[in-house]
Amino acid sequence: MATQERKAVVAVTDGGGRGSVIVEAYLKSPHVEKVLVFPGNDMMAEERSDRVALFPGIKTSDVDQIIALSKENGVTHIDICQDNAVQAGVSDAAFLHGIKVIGPTSVAGRIEWDKEYARRLGDTAEIPQPDWVAFSTIREAEGWLDKMPERKMFVKATGLAEGKGSIRASNKQEALDAIKRLKKEHPMASERFLIEKALVGEESSTFAVSDGTNFIVVGSAQDHKHEKDGDKGDMTGGMGAVSNPLLMRDVVLQEGTESNISKMLAAKREEGNPYRGWIFHGGMAIPIGNDRLKQFLLEWNARLGDPEAQVILPGLNIDLLELGDAIVDGDISGLDIRNDGKVRVVVAVASRGYPRSYKAVRNKEVKSLPELRRLDGINIYGAGIKMEESKHYIAGGRLFYIMTEEIDVLEAREKLSVVLEIVEGMDGENVRFRTDIGWRDVERLRQKSLQ
Ligand code: GLY
């Protein structure tokens, strides 16, 4: 239990919407006095600057600065929630300085920052995953592609590439173009690259938490990465998500996901690098005949997902600090983490032009936010917003997230659409958002009503 005499001061390494919901969750804990955020965003501190300290300009991978500032400010706990913070070893350094760490060590988190390693681990642990090969040079890949000319595939950087390290290809030429693009845009991350067989199925994101031995699955969601309705256009960091999706009510998929997580954790223990912290299982449900599905592993993330965190965390009955202390103490088995089972839908309101250039709207005022703040029954999570004298200005790609929660996806979307009308009316010329988040579940419910 976290009930120490002294109240906790928690540091969080994030600046986006996921960071906003994590900060909010820590602020709800009676054990937490203050939250520091590296780098944070202005809306995190809006109306609560006494309890939230922002450190703009500090990179989430800047181990030395994060540790120095944490020590200077009496940080007791640090939550490592960004992929590059995991890789850089913020966790390892914080541990050496006596700060309690919520998040894996760098070697434990390698399941995310080295995708070739993760695939090897998956093969050894017999986790169902796509067929894959790894190369360093275009020439090596060319020889292999000559023998596999017309195969649908993904070309992936093995390292971290800000979510842009995976490109779809349908033939040799497209694959070679993808490799060239990755090597140009993300040279470090794609020193080695994977070519994976494309799986055809439906994706899901599941969160679990582990103390290295035990694990608890806390919820699932589906995110929407394309920029436009109907899953069209370019990929983004995520335009919205829906929690408790109907797909993941399938017991076989739940068991498959748990089995994958259990195998990964056992493999990490065997390796001598037990995994402690949040786990993100990116799954792909593949039809295998007779209406049956099988869960494949697409990817691991060594952290919570964005924007999935915005729909999963608010539905959990946990005190985030008590959970953090249980992870640090190495025993989460006594925790009773429950998911309220509601459906939450979150939509990202992004700058017009995102995911490409949004220079034309940078620094424009977002006028709808004060109005939205006054509405009951919705949650707003800030991201790329700069605040000056209580006004909100465009400073990034994804600006803020609106989340509604209801008993089913239809009601949650209904509520959301009223709110989005306000955004469109007041800021439509400067922002964009999707209107069909959760469409798969809407379609499933429609099909069911026709039966
Ligand atoms: N939504 C996927 C991720 O956070 O990587």
> pLDDT tens across 372-425, in order?
999 999 999 999 999 999 999 999 999 999 999 999 999 999 999 999 999 999
Q: What is the mean pLDDT of the chain?
A: 96
pLDDT digits (tens, 9 = 90+) for 196-228: 999 999 999 999 999 999 999 999 999 999 999
Q: How far is the CA of 147 from the centre of ligand 1 (A)?
A: 33
Using the predicted structure, report yes or no on whether residue 248 has a pLDDT greater than 90: yes
- My answer on whether 193 and 215 are in the same domain is no
What pLDDT is stored for residue 5 in this prediction?
Answer: 64
What share of the chain has pLDDT > 90, as a percent? 94
How many structural domains are present in the chain? 4
Q: How far is the CA of 305 from the centre of ligand 1 (A)?
A: 4
Domain with 180 in it: what CATH number? 3.30.1490.20
Q: How far is the CA of 379 from the centre of ligand 1 (A)?
A: 20
- Which of 197, 212, 246 marks a domain boundary? 197
pTM of the predicted model as reported, rounded to 2 decimal places: 0.96
Coarse DSSP helix, strand, coil percentages of the chain, rounded to the nearest 5 percent: 35, 30, 35
Using the predicted structure, report yes or no on whether residue 3 has a pLDDT greater than 60: no
Using the predicted structure, report yes or no on whether residue 346 has a pLDDT greater than 80: yes
Q: How far is the CA of 156 from the centre of ligand 1 (A)?
A: 15
- My answer on whether 211 and 323 are in the same domain is yes
Using the predicted structure, report yes or no on whether residue 149 has a pLDDT greater than 70: no
pLDDT digits (tens, 9 = 90+) for 273-291: 999 999 999 999 999 998 8
What pLDDT is stored for residue 451 in this prediction?
Answer: 82
**Any domain includes 335:** no
Domain with 286 in it: what CATH number? 3.30.470.20
CA distance 387 to 394: 9
Domain with 364 in it: what CATH number? 3.90.600.10
Two tokens, residue 407: 């008993």
pLDDT digits (tens, 9 = 90+) for 75-106: 999 999 999 999 999 999 999 999 999 999 99
Residues having CB closer than 6 A to ligand 1 are: 163, 223, 238, 301, 305-306, 308
What secondary structure letter does DSSP report for 315?
Answer: G
The closest residue, in CA terms, to atom 3 on ligand 1 is: 305
Query: Exposed (0-12), middle (13-18) or buried (19+): which is 291, by Cβ within 10 Å?
Result: exposed
Q: How many H-runs (helices) and E-runs (strands) does the chain carry?
A: 14, 22
Using the predicted structure, report yes or no on whether residue 4 has a pLDDT greater than 60: no
- My answer on whether 229 and 185 are in the same domain is no
Q: Are 403 and 409 in contact (CB under 8 A)?
A: no
Domain of 158, in residue numbers: 131-197
Using the predicted structure, report yes or no on whether residue 2 has a pLDDT greater than 80: no
Q: What would the mean pLDDT of 429-449 be, rounded to a whole number?
A: 96
Between 3 and 28, residue with greater pLDDT: 28
What pLDDT is stored for residue 163 in this prediction?
Answer: 85
Domain with 61 in it: what CATH number? 3.40.50.20
